[in-house]
Amino acid sequence: MKKEKMQIQNFEIALRMRDFEIAQLAQRNNFFMIFQGVLFAGLIQSSHPKPVVSLLVCVAGLIVSVFQVGMASGAKFWQEYWEQKLSEFEASERASDAILFHDKNCEYDATVRSRLSSRQVGSITTRLVMSRFSVSRIPIYTGVALAIIWLLLVLCTLRGYSPLSVPSFVVGF
């Protein structure tokens, strides 16, 4: 009786964790989409008097897009893991057959790789998901990237100093 109760508890944990990953993915993705939308709208609405601003807004959009891919891939890794554990619970009669928490990264990888392979997920998507990007570090990387872009904007305002002037290949739109 005690094992059956533990199995039900573990199943409920796996279900909550899967739902949590899906909800967090949606919230994080919405943030990135709004951020990119604001960048894009700002680029379209500007009169482009400074070509370097247009260039750096485009660079910011590209960097944020790359980070969004990493964030989504990291969240998808864990969603796939919890989906597989739920499947194991549904097929199992004993709680000990499916262990939720452990420190064996190779088992996490094998579980997710097997699930992606059985569902015939494309190789690029599989590689991205298996990279297991850290969804908690992506906002840090975004902040660093934006800080660098802001620094470049500041340096470009110092046009009087020849090494800090806008490069001739930056022509704007």
Question: What is the model's pLDDT at position 124?
Answer: 92
Question: What is the model's pLDDT at position 34?
Answer: 92
Question: What is the model's pLDDT at position 165?
Answer: 67
Question: What is the model's pLDDT at position 171?
Answer: 67
pTM for the complete prediction? 0.64
Under-70 pLDDT residues of the chain = 1, 48, 93-101, 154, 156-166, 171-173
Tokens representing residue 152 in the block: 């470049």
Q: Is the distance from CB of 129 to CB of 116 less than 8 angstroms?
A: yes
